[in-house]
Amino acid sequence: MNRETKNLDYYLKRITFIAMIVFAAAMPFTIALTQISLFVALLAWLGRLTVTHSLRLRRLSLEWAFLAYIAAEIVALIFSTNVPQSFIFLKRLLLIPIVYLFALDVLEKKQLNLLATVFIISVTLYSLSGMVSFFFHPSLRVRYIQNSMTTGGITMIGALITFAFAAFATEKRWRWIWFIFGLINTSCLVLTSTRGSWLGFFFGILFIVYFANRKLFIAIPLLIAAFVFLGPQEFSGRVKHIFDPTWRTNAKRIFWWSVGLKIYKDHPIVGIGDVSTTDMFKKYAPPGTKELVGHMHNNFIHIAVTLGTVGLVAFIYMMLQIFLVLLRQFLQAMPSRGPTLSWAAAAVAIFIAFNINGLFEWNFGDAEIITMIWFMTGGALAIPVLSDETLVPSEERIK
């Protein structure tokens, strides 16, 4: 590599990482800046791949899983009930490269630690802002910037990553800092009154505590019980009704799912296409139904309706493969503590929480949430090749 190419590669590398930092900071607040910074990072990354040839590609054990899902989307597009809309919704596939961007370009532990710190600070500021908005409008569920369900998903992710970093921190000072940040994110999560996110957080924190300190494992259910029986009625009441099929939103979801299953029964192979379900829901819902939903409020039912059995099998395979790869990364990182183990633990816990939450919400189709999932997945897959070098090795600096 000649001097000019080295200089170009240096700048492209710096642009990529700066864009990654902006990306990590923007995720909780603005999808527009998040996607702009992602585009810049990918463009610079592709420049290093095709022009300077300084990047080394490697397999992530997820290629077949991603290809299966992409193939299912394309098949559903061909047979879609609304081809133009399905074509537009293919944009969700453009977020998958986030996994490869972070997995292949983050090569130093300090880089991963900085990305985690920026994201944790940003999501905690988001939670603080949400709490402030709640105190000015206490009759409303926290729905800061996004709706309450998206806010619930964001704060669920924020709480889990901060508690993971607190649980596996090597320094007492940082352990307390991350723990306080975790409490802030959890408080905002509670104020969203989003029970699906609460359930996701519960299972995610059980995973973290089990591997961090099993003596405290029993404390989690006890804290939940204390919240249910001693907490404010407006919040504890929502917990008590989680498994009541006749309770307001529970009954609504069961109704929506039943209509979705009727649609799936008539379109079992490739579904109706990756489209809004509003028109089809109107067709299959009982006459006089006023509330028509554009998605099924359940990842698996929505995928079954829109992509059929072909898509559902591909989706389940992708989700299972991601979970197994993340779990393997976590188990391999277990001998040591610190940021890398914290990230690996957070990635698994967040993925568990995401799928639990996805039983009650179409969060796979929520751009803010799935962007964070791919971000955490990519960072976890970067761990095996991380070095302890500085962010810019001295031999690469321009003299």
348 occurs within a structural domain = yes
Q: Is the pLDDT of residue 389 over 90?
A: no
Q: How far apart are CA 267 and CA 273, in angstroms?
A: 10
Reported confidence tier of residue 239, pLDDT bands at 50, 70, 90? confident
Burial of 129 from C-beta contacts in 10 A (0-12 / 13-18 / 19+): middle
Which pLDDT does position 399 carry in this prediction?
34
Q: Which residues contact 61 (CB under 8 A, 6 or more apart)?
A: 321, 325
- Boundary of a domain, candidates 32, 51, 70: 51
Within a domain: 268: no
Q: For residues 276 and 293, what is the distance between their CA atoms, to the nearest angstrom?
A: 8
Which residue carries 């090749």 as its tokens?
Answer: 385
Position 288: which residue type? G
Asked if 14 and 161 sit in the same domain, the reply is no
Q: Tell me if residue 108 falls in helix, strand or coil.
A: strand
In a domain, 253, yes or no: no
What global pTM score does this model have? 0.93
| Cβ atoms of residues 365 and 101 within 8 Å | no
Least confident stretch, 42-51, 229-238, 307-316, 345-354: 229-238
122 and 168 housed in the same domain: yes
**More confidently predicted of 346 and 386:** 346
Classify residue 23: in a domain, yes or no. Answer: yes
Q: Is the pLDDT of residue 395 over 50?
A: no
Predicted local distance difference test score (pLDDT) of residue 111: 94
Specify the amino acid at residue 166.
Answer: A
pLDDT band at 266 (very low <50, low <70, confident <90, very high): very high
Is position 269 within any domain? Answer: no
- Residue 197 and residue 368 in contact, taking contact as beta carbons nearer than 8 Å: no
- 172 and 295 together in one domain: yes
Largest separation between any pair of C-alpha atoms in the chain: 74
Classified as helix, coil or strand, 58 is coil
Same domain, 224 and 371: yes
More confident residue, 305 or 335: 305
Question: Residues 166, 179: contact at Cβ < 8 Å?
Answer: yes
pLDDT of residue 393: 40
Q: What is the pLDDT of residue 133?
A: 86
In the chain, the N- to C-terminal Cα span, in Å, equals: 16
Q: Are residues 206 and 342 in the same domain?
A: yes
Euclidean distance between CA atoms 198 and 264, whole angstroms: 29
Same domain, 97 and 156: yes
Length of the chain: 399
- The Cα 291–Cα 240 span in angstroms is 25
Tell me the Cα Rg of the chain.
22
17, two tokens? 């990482």
**pLDDT, averaged across the chain:** 90
Determine phi and psi for 108, rounding to 5 degrees: -130, 145
Position 43 confidence tier, pLDDT thresholds 50, 70, 90: very high
108, β-bridge pairs: 387
Q: What gap in Å lies between CA 221 and CA 212, rounded to an integer?
A: 16
Pair (154, 40) in one structural domain:
no
Residue 254 lies in a domain: no
Answer yes or no: is pLDDT of 347 > 60.
yes
The mean pLDDT of 86-95, rounded to a whole number, is 95
- Among 239-243, 269-273, 300-304, which is the least confidently predicted range? 239-243
Is residue 183 scored above 60 in pLDDT? yes
Residue 265 domain-assigned (yes or no): no
Least confident range of 135-139, 185-189, 283-287: 135-139
Which among 299, 231, 237, 312 has a CA at the least distance from the CA of 269?
312
Q: Of the ranges 49-63, 117-131, 377-391, which one carries the lowest mean pLDDT score?
A: 377-391
Quick one: 72 and 176 in the same domain? yes
Kindly state whether residue 244 falls inside one of the protein's structural domains. yes
Assess whether pLDDT exceeds 90 at residue 86.
yes
What pLDDT is recorded for position 145? Answer: 65
**Which tens digit of pLDDT belongs to each residue from 127-148?**
999 999 888 887 667 776 678 8
Q: Is residue 60 within 8 Å of residue 100, measured between CB atoms? A: yes
Extract the runs of DSSP E, i.e. beta strands, from the chain.
none
Residues 81 and 36 in one domain: no
Asked if residue 38 and residue 145 are part of one domain, the reply reads no
Choose the final residue of a domain: 51, 74, 91.
51
CA neighbours within 13 Å on the CB side: how many for 67? 5
Looking at the predicted structure, is the pLDDT value of residue 394 above 50?
no
Residue 338 DSSP one-character state: S
- Is residue 315 within 8 Å of residue 307, measured between CB atoms? yes
Domain that holds residue 212: 62-248+287-389
CA 355/CA 211 separation, integer angstroms:
20
Whether residues 95 and 34 share a domain: the answer is no
Are residues 138 and 187 both part of a single domain?
A: yes
Mean pLDDT calculated for residue range 264-283: 96
What 3-state DSSP class applies to 138? coil
Count: domains in the chain: 2
pLDDT above 90 covers a percentage of the chain that reads 72
Helices (H) and strands (E) in the chain, counts: 16, 0
